[in-house]
């Protein structure tokens, strides 16, 4: 009896309906808000929150502070234009708008509030960034 080697089939193996699909590959989302932060934003965040933001992530385990996440979201959505500096006027106006938005909503916490907000304002004021930025 002669046995001849067979070549492996190149067709994908059929999967059973009971098998879980393979986990998705790790990928870097284009919508990762931290990627939109400017060097100036990162400097502010380092002083206000103590967080060092690297491209797409923060320097510690766990989630970034609500303040950092909100600033990154504002940058990505265009609330803060690409070349617009964060100013204390911007933060105060954004905080007021969020307070109005959250009024009467149980459990709502304004990310632009509290000690981090106060540190950010103090840092901006100390660095001459109190003016309003006007966009057309």
pLDDT in tens, 91-108: 999 999 999 999 989 999
Which runs of consecutive H residues, i.e. helices, occur in 22-87? 39-49, 66-77
* Better-predicted residue by pLDDT, 42 or 6: 42
- Estimate the crossing angle of helix 114-126 against helix 39-49, to 10 degrees: 120
Q: What is the tens place of the pLDDT at every residue in 104-127?
A: 899 999 999 999 999 999 999 998
Whole-Å CA distances, 55 to 2, 17, 58: 61, 39, 8
């Amino acid at each position: 009896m002669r046995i001849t080697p067979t070549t492996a089939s190149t067709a994908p193996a059929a999967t059973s309906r009971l098998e879980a699909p393979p986990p998705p590959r790790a990928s870097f989302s284009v919508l990762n808000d931290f990627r939109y932060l400017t060097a100036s934003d990162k400097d502010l965040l380092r002083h206000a929150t103590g967080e060092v933001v690297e491209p797409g992530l923060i320097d510690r385990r766990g989630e970034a502070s609500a303040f950092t996440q909100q600033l990154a979201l504002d940058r990505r959505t265009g609330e803060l234009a690409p070349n617009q500096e964060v100013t204390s006027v911007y933060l105060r106006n954004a905080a007021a708008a969020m307070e109005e938005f959250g009024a009467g909503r149980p459990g709502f916490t304004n990310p632009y509030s509290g000690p981090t907000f106060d540190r950010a304002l103090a840092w901006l004021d100390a660095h001459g960034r109190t003016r309003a930025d006007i966009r057309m």
